[in-house]
Each structure stands twice: as C-alpha cells, then as structure tokens.
Chain A
Amino acid sequence: MRLSDAEVYEKYAGELVRFATGLVGPSDAPDVIADAFVRVLRSGSWPDVDEQRAYLYRAVLNEVKMRHRSTMRRRAREMRAAEPEAVYDVEIRPEVLEAMSVLSAQQRAAVVLSYWEDLAPVEIGERLGVSEGSVRRHLARGRAKLREVFDA
C-alpha cells in the first residue's frame, strides 16, 4: 500500500537530512529537505514513482544544485567571524565546511554516500540515477581536490 505524503516524509526525512548535511552543511540541510519534499509532492510524476527513496535522493541533490554553490564556504566564513557556540549548536569545524566547499554537488554526493554509507559506486549510481562510471569519475575528482586541500 502506498504511503501518505506525511508517512513518506517521516520515513525518509532523517536520512535525507544527513545526506543533505553532507552536501550543504547542518545549517541549511533541514530547509533543503523541506523544499525538496514540497517540490516533489507538487510534481506531476510523483504519484507514478516506484523507487521513491532514490527519487527523493535525486530531488535533494537537484535542490542543492539549484542553490548557490558557495553556501558551505559562506557558512564557514560566518562561523569564523562569529562565536560558533553563539550561532550554531552543532560542533563542526569551519575547516570541514571549507574542504567540502571545493567539491561540486555531485562530487559531494558521491563522497558522502561512499564514505558515510559505504556504498559501492554501482549502488551510488542507482541511488543518484547516474552511471557507475560517472560515480567513479566524481569520486576520483573529489579525492583529487581533497588531496590538494589536505596537502596545502
């Protein structure tokens, strides 16, 4: 039986917020998820979607791509400028946000799903709707960019 919209949200919002946190940081992740859900539920194709989980992951990634790329970099600057504990109740070093900000949204998605969920490239590809080769390429690029950051 198909779940109601609220039930779908309750079921997937937690893991999607963790995924979005890897993409845009903790401050914007809940808003990204809310916006992505609203967009999905308004979509005419949603009632016919079979793989709802994968569809939602792609919708979140798409939502992130539509937002400004420098969100993480801006957040890192804000954290440096402010007393972190006065602004954020989560412990995240600005260096982490800055490092991730050098990656494209697709590269971040591949890195998060690979290193957090331990998914293989083929599984990441199924989740994000891209080929295994594309995932491998994003991972390779992401690793190369992060190596430069860590070596700097």
Chain B
Amino acid sequence: MPDRLDQEIRSMVVELVESSPAPHPAHSALRAGSLPVRPLTMRSGLSRAFAAAVVVLLVGLAGAWIGRSVIPLDTASDVSIVEGAPAPEPGFEPFGKQMRLLPSTGEVQPEIAPGTVAGEVTAVGRIQDTDLEVFIWKTTDPENGTCLQVIGFRAKHTTCEGVFDSDLIVRSPFVFARFDETTSDPIDVVAVWRVPDNTSIVQVGVGDTVLWQRPNSGVVAFAFDADAPRVILNAVDTDSESVGTSFFSPVQVANPEVVDDITLQGSPQDLVELDDNHPALRLLAEGATDYKTFAETASERDLEAVCTAGGGWPAYQLCLVAHDGVLAVVPFDGLPGLTARISESNLTQDVVVPLNRTEPVGVLNTRPNTSVDIEYFGEETVGGMSAPWSPSQNDS
C-alpha cells in the first residue's frame, strides 16, 4: 500500500507530465532540431552571405597561422606502432584488437596538466578508428619526467613519470570506456600504455591465458570488447622477465553498474572500528598495499570483494571487502572531497565515507542489497565505478 510520500510524488509527477505540450511537427523537428526557423529576407540574406565570406576568410588565415606555428609537431619515433602493425592472432579476435597509432590530425593540442612544466612535445599520434589523440612531452622539471596524454570524447588522461614518482602509476595503462555520443552506451574499452623502456614484447592475456604477443615498445593501444572478461597486459624484456603488468575488467569499466551490484549481508548504519581479523586488514598487513595486488589476493581467496579505480580527475582507487556483516572501505588513492556513499538500494540511509584518508573504514551492515557510489563534493556520482568524468563533463 503506497505511503504518503508515494502519493505526494505520484501527484507531483502526474501534474508535471500532464503539463506536457505537443512535440514539434516532424518536418521542422527533423530538419533543424530546436534551431528557430525564420524567413530570410533579401537584405538579411546578403548580410549573412557577406558575414559567411568574412568568417571563411578569417578561419583560413587563422588556420594558416596555426599550421605555420604549431603543425606539424614531431611524429616522433616514440610513437612506435604506426602503419603496418600486424593483424591480431587467432584467440585475441573475439575480445579485441591492437589499435594502430597513426599520424596526428593536428586538430587537437595537448592540454598541459596543472603543475607540470611543459617542455618539448616529442610525439603525437592518433589511435586508429577513434577520436583519441596521443601526446608525449618531456617536462623541464629537475627529474626530467616524460608525460603521456590521451584526449578524446569524454577522455582526458595524463600521467607523468617523475612527477608522480610511482611505478604503479607510470607503468599502468590508461583504461577507459569509449561511449556513443548519442546514448552514452559503451562502445568498447581502450587501453593506452607507454610501456617501460626496456620492454621488447607486449603480451595480452584474457583470463589466465596469454593469447597474443608481439614485439613492441613505446606506446601501445588496444581496444577490447565491452563484454570481455578480465584482461592482463604484460610487458616483457629481452630476458623474458616481466617489467610491467596490468589487469582490468572491460565489463566493469564499460558497465559501472556491474560492480555496484555487490550484495552484502547488511545495511549501512554507522562507521565502526574494523576488527583485526577482518580480511581487509589482514590483506593489508600481508603487503597488499596497492589496489591491484589487493584485488588479486582477495580474488585468490574467494573473498567477497571488489576493487575499482578512476584514472581521470578526480582520481580514486578503492577496494571494498565484506565480511561478517562489516563492509571495509579501503582507499588507496583519492582527492579531498571525494567520498564513497554507501546506501541501501531500497531505502534512504546513507553513510558517507571520506576517501581523503589512507586507513580503511568499516561500515556496519544488517541488511542486504547495499550499493556504493563514488561522489565528489556531494555532487553527482563521478564513478559508477570507473568513469573518469571531470566535474565539467558531469551532470552537474
């Protein structure tokens, strides 16, 4: 039986929807969207023609100036996979493919990250069949770091060696979903990786099996089917030693809700102290101090756990482990203001966990169907679990 709140909401929705006007006639709607259609007089037509000519002239001059001063940037050897990359071998085919790096269109310029002193841009490229542009530049900071940036629709990722001073960051690929501009449905999941310098071979594994490998170095790019299972990217040196490994789940990257559906025995009530025997603390004590190791170890032990990371801004790396009615929220990285909001799926009680801290937080649960969102400053959810949306791209 509906309660008073339901009745009030229904009444409000009915009032709102019943105020609906008629749609625009098809002939005008399909021709011009919402652009107003006005009759064109001879005078206004001539004025528009003159204005258009001026604009064309100015654009041409501007293009020539920009082209003279900026283009071409060096399509340097660091963008090593160019035309001629071999076709994928059997086995990799159903899950994805290697993407060639082609010369840049020159239409996009790198966006220098705040706090990064930009030096020489040493390489640019465009990822085949996408709008993604890749840039590499050397910073002029004392550590002489190198930055890699990928820019495209809803994608802007930057990482710099030396600046972050972290092997985990430097040697991890950018992994993000590409979305249909019309519906925001996921198209595929792209991984762009500037592999360590001593790499000679790059391997792709799906599940636990290496299905594909090629001599590669520099920047490599792959596109994976949005339904692909867990993927492992591995960089191997000339001695067959691994020099960098990364794994991710395209299903989770492309469908953030999938990981939201972790079902916990409990309902969020309060923040609580974690018992020393909670598996989250045990994993940390055993050295699983980055979120990837943590996730792998939890998976090996069949723990009810999920890990996620958003590589954009704000960035976050987070694992959740449910055990004995207590959910442990284990942040590995996060910016001030980033919060995890734990809520029941069917009612109202929320617990907000600040992630600008390093120690795990326990949340007491008593009912099932708990879900987790990552939010920024209490605004829209920035991560279903993986979408690296900046606030300006977000629904806010």
Contact = CB atoms under 8 A, between A and B. Distances in A.
Interface of A: 5-6, 9-10, 13-14, 16-18, 21-22, 25-26, 29-35, 37-41, 43, 45-46, 55, 58-59, 62, 65, 69, 90-93, 96-97, 99-100, 104-106, 111-112, 115-116, 129-131, 133-134, 136-137, 140-141, 143-144, 146-147, 150
Contacts of A104: 380, 395
B17 A38 contact: no
Contacts of A5: 30
Contact of B16 (A22, A131, A134): A22
B16 A133 contact: no
Interface of B: 5-6, 8-10, 12-17, 19-24, 26-30, 32-34, 180-185, 255, 257-258, 260-261, 343-348, 350, 369, 371, 373, 380, 384, 395-396
B21 A100 contact: no
A5 B27 CA distance: 10
A129 B185 contact: yes
B199 to A, nearest CB: 36
Contacts of B183: 55, 58-59, 62, 129
Given A55-B183, A100-B16, A115-B10, A136 B346 contact: yes
A140 B345 contact: yes
B23 A13 contact: yes
Given A5-B30, A33-B23, A38-B30, A112 B13 contact: yes
Contacts of B24: 13, 30-31, 33-34
A99 B10 CA distance: 13
Nearest to B21: A26
A115 B9 contact: yes
A26 B30 CA distance: 20
Q: Which of B20, B255, B371, B396 has the most CB of A within 10 A?
A: B20
B30 A9 contact: yes
A66 B387 CA distance: 16
Nearest to B182: A43
A31 B34 contact: yes
25 contacts: A13-B24, A17-B20, A17-B21, A22-B13, A25-B19, A26-B19, A30-B23, A30-B34, A34-B28, A35-B33, A35-B34, A45-B180, A55-B183, A58-B183, A62-B184, A69-B396, A112-B16, A115-B13, A131-B255, A133-B369, A137-B345, A140-B346, A143-B5, A143-B348, A146-B9
Nearest to A57: B183
A58 B369 CA distance: 26
Given A37-B29, A111-B13, A137 B182 contact: no
Given A38-B32, A40-B182, A99 B17 contact: no
Given A17-B23, A39-B33, A131-B255, 13 more contacts: A9-B30, A17-B20, A30-B34, A34-B32, A105-B395, A106-B395, A111-B9, A112-B16, A115-B6, A133-B260, A134-B384, A136-B346, A147-B348
Cβ-closest 6 pairs across A and B: A31-B34, A13-B23, A131-B257, A34-B29, A21-B20, A38-B33
B184 A137 contact: no
Nearest to B185: A129
Contacts of B33: 31, 34-35, 37-39
Contact of B29 (A13, A131, A141, A143): A13
A133 B23 CA distance: 32
B391 to A, nearest CB: 12
Contacts of A90: 19, 21
A146 B182 contact: no
A142 to B, nearest CB: 8
A34 B34 contact: yes
B344 A140 contact: yes
Contacts of B257: 130-131, 133-134
A90 B14 CA distance: 13
A143 B185 contact: no
A93 B346 CA distance: 29
Contacts of B15: 92-93, 96
Contacts of B34: 30-32, 34-35
B5 A146 contact: yes
Given A17-B23, A133-B257, A112 B17 contact: yes
B19 A21 contact: yes
A116 B17 contact: yes
Given A21-B16, A30-B24, A147 B345 contact: no
